[in-house]
Amino acid sequence: MPYASETSLVPIPPPGEDELPHDDGEPMESDRHRKQMLLLIESLDLFWRDRDDVYVSGNMAIYFSELQTLKNDFRGPDVFVVLDTMRRDRKSWVVWQENGRTPDVVIELLSESTESVDRGEKMRVYAKLLRVPEYFLFDPMKNALEGYALDISSRSYRPMVSSADGELVSQQLGLRLGVRDGLYLGSQGRWLRWLDPEGRVLPTAEEQARAAEERAQALADKLVAYEKRFGPLT
- The pLDDT score that the predictor gives to residue 216 is 84
Q: What is the mean pLDDT of residues 38-62?
A: 96
Q: What is the mean pLDDT of residues 42-64?
A: 95
Q: How many CA atoms lie within 13 A of 180 on its CB side?
A: 17
Closest CA to 182 of 224, 211, 216: 211
Fill in the DSSP letter of residue 172: T
- Stated as kind and residue range, the H or E segment containing 42 is helix 31-47
Lowest mean pLDDT among 14-23, 70-79, 114-123, 130-139: 14-23
**What would you report as the CA-atom Rg of the chain, rounded to the nearest whole angstrom?**
22
- The pLDDT score that the predictor gives to residue 233 is 75
- The pLDDT score that the predictor gives to residue 228 is 79
The strand pair at 93-94 and 62-63 is best described as: parallel
pLDDT at 1 over 80: no
Mean pLDDT, the chain, rounded, equals 87
Q: What is the mean pLDDT of residues 12-27?
A: 60
The single-letter code of the amino acid at 110 is L
Q: What is the mean pLDDT of residues 221-232?
A: 77
Who has greater pLDDT, 5 or 110?
110
- The pLDDT score that the predictor gives to residue 17 is 62
Q: Which residues make Cβ contacts (< 8 Å) with residue 81, sequence separation at least 6? A: 44, 54, 55, 56, 103, 104, 105, 106, 172, 173
- The pLDDT score that the predictor gives to residue 9 is 42
pLDDT at 199 over 80: yes
| Dihedral, 208, 209, 215, 216 alpha carbons, nearest 10 | 160
- The pLDDT score that the predictor gives to residue 12 is 53
Q: What is the mean pLDDT of residues 105-131?
A: 95
